[in-house]
Chain A
Amino acid sequence: MAAAVTGRGVAFIRGLSAGLYSRLQVLACGHQQLSCLHTSSSLESKNWERKNRKVYPPQLPDEPCRPAEIHHSRRQIKYSKDKMWYLAKMIRGMSIDGAIAQLEFIDKKGAKIIKEVLLEAQEMAVKNHNVEYKSNLYIAESFSGKGMYLKRIRYHGRGMFGIMDKVYCHYFVKLVEGSPPKVEQRTGYDQAKEYVQNLRNRTIIHSL
């Protein structure tokens, strides 16, 4: 009886392992469909710079003029991504002249770096991407990302140590030709009015 049980147990385990093996194979073959697996490593894929290579077909004369978009970035800046975020958030939606003027008078290490990146991007726009007026640009997107960190040891007392990260960040910016879009200023009164209206719009569903 015990032998029969163990035999069936072994067969059960073998079936399980076979199922697992086949499922793993399916996983490996169908990796293109599954979006949770990363196919390109973060080291060699410079997707932001590749966006500058996209060529659009010629526009017909009755279509509205497509505004020029310039993507630029700087990699491995010796600064924290969280500290860089504050500067990136500040210049979102500003015109390029305004952004450069503001960054010139901010006392932060990242401000000087971002100003250099913006000036580079402006020159690239005029030289390579057929932008007519260098002031006619505004910052459509601007954000910071984590770079590759170096690990070092931070010595504590009593023989304890911690792993210290030397932080690096990337900075990405997208300039678009044209004047900056006007953001609608919403006051507290407008928000309150909208809230009350939402409350008034409620109805009772499935009622008589």
Chain B
Amino acid sequence: MALPMRRTLVALHRAACNSVMHASGTLDARSPAPLFQPVRTKKRFFIPPAVGMKGKKENNPEAKARAAGIVFTQEIMERPINISCTAGILDPYIPPEGDARHTSLSKEGLKQRTEQIKQSAASQLAIRKIKEHDSTFTTKNFAERAQEIFIEAHNALTRFNKDKLHSLVTERCYPEMTRGNRYKTICWRFIESLEPPRVVHARCPDMVAKGNLYGQVTVRMHSRQTLAIYDRFGRLMMGSEEQPKDVLEYLVIERHLTNPYGQWRLHGKIVPSWAPAKDPVIKTVMIPGPELKPWQEFDDLNYEVPKPAAVQWYK
């Protein structure tokens, strides 16, 4: 299907000759016509792309615009950001070892209770500062409110109501709660609370400027919950629907105190170093083995899987 190039060349030559004749014909002043008239050629349906590409000069549209007189206003690369939560938990609460193990009737339990009842001075100061900004703040009411916030936030996570979740949970906590959830289904149920929730710790840090106060209150709650996570295909990945678990949690609730429209929102959880290990996932997982030199062999029977160090971390 080779198109004849010679015919186009001949046609072009003929067209050039015609145009030249036309130009010479219109030199007379009687009927002034343009010197070079365009001549109609055969319509080409396909023009090979390389023909026009040779010797293509680069246009400078910016210089042309400036020459034409068009002025662009300076676009400042700035964007105001609203910070409505702190980046982490400042001065975290260190839960005492064996917190929920002893009953309040035994001697160790009573000792723990007395320690917990007289809170440290810093917490009292912080609570006083919070009461300055929020007059309706009491430790008893607040603990129950904290539990309600927690339950509502997790229900919103189960149904995935993004707007409600953002109003109940701070911006720092939101990605931690929702990372990896997009292609999974989470079923969570709060069955009952085993002990009434209690405020154990409070701090009032400030960010960036001196007077910009945020209030962080730690609430301890002991409850029974069920959690089941299903993967993309509806197969159970972790947990179970029927088996409830007793959970001791230390929640951190935060509020931007200087903002009159600030809300108390869930900011994070403190996981103590003595917390029992979580249930394993249902499937078998491969873990990376030790690095071996070329002459070494891997000893299956004597190899111990290294356990991570027991550190308190918050999530």
Contact = CB atoms under 8 A, between A and B. Distances in A.
Contacts of A132: 283-284
A65 interface: yes
Contacts of B48: 153, 161, 163
Nearest to B46: A163
B27 to A, nearest CB: 35
Quick one: which of B1, B5, B183, B232 has the most chain A CB within 10 A?
A: B232
Contacts of B184: 55
Nearest to B7: A159
Contact of B1 (A58, A65, A162): A162
A158 B233 CA distance: 63
B9 A55 contact: no
A53 B183 contact: yes
Interface string B50-64: 100000000000000
Interface string B229-260: 01111111100000000000000000000000
Interface string A39-73: 00000000000000111111100000111110000
A56, A58, A132 pick with most chain B CB within 10 angstroms: A58
Contact of A159 (B6, B49, B183, B283): B6
Contacts of B46: 163
Interface string A154-177: 001011111100000000000000
B216 interface: no
A67 B231 CA distance: 12
Nearest to A68: B233
B13 to A, nearest CB: 13
B3 interface: yes
Interface residues of A, number: 27
Contact of A55 (B1, B3, B232, B283): B232
Interface string A185-198: 00000000000000
Contacts, number: 69
A156 B2 contact: yes
B289 interface: no
Nearest to A133: B284
A66 B233 contact: yes
B218 interface: no
Interface string A134-146: 0000000000000
Interface in B195-236: 228, 230-236
Interface string B1-21: 111111001000000000000
A130 interface: yes
Nearest to A128: B183
Interface in B20-71: 46, 48-50
Contact of B2 (A53, A58, A69, A162): A162
A129 interface: yes
B185 interface: yes
Given A153-B50, A161-B48, A56 B233 contact: yes
Nearest to A58: B230
B229 to A, nearest CB: 9
Given A130-B232, A163-B48, A58 B3 contact: no
A39 to B, nearest CB: 27
A202 interface: no
Contacts of A182: none
Given A53-B183, A58-B230, A132-B284, A161 B3 contact: yes
B49 A151 contact: yes
B4 A58 contact: no
Contacts of B1: 162-163
Contact of A58 (B183, B185, B284): B185
B45 to A, nearest CB: 12
Contacts of A162: 1-2
B187 interface: yes
Contacts of B233: 56, 59, 66-69, 130
Contacts of B236: 58-59
B185 A158 contact: no
Contact of A59 (B49, B50, B235): B235
A125 to B, nearest CB: 11
B5 to A, nearest CB: 4
A56 B4 contact: no
Contacts of B235: 59, 65-66, 68, 130
18 contacts: A54-B232, A55-B183, A55-B184, A56-B232, A67-B233, A68-B231, A128-B183, A129-B231, A130-B232, A133-B284, A151-B49, A153-B48, A153-B49, A156-B2, A158-B6, A159-B6, A160-B2, A161-B3
Across chains A and B, which 6 residue pairs bring their CB atoms closest together, nearest first? A160-B2, A159-B5, A130-B231, A59-B234, A132-B283, A58-B230
Interface of B: 1-6, 9, 46, 48-50, 183-185, 187, 228, 230-237, 283-284
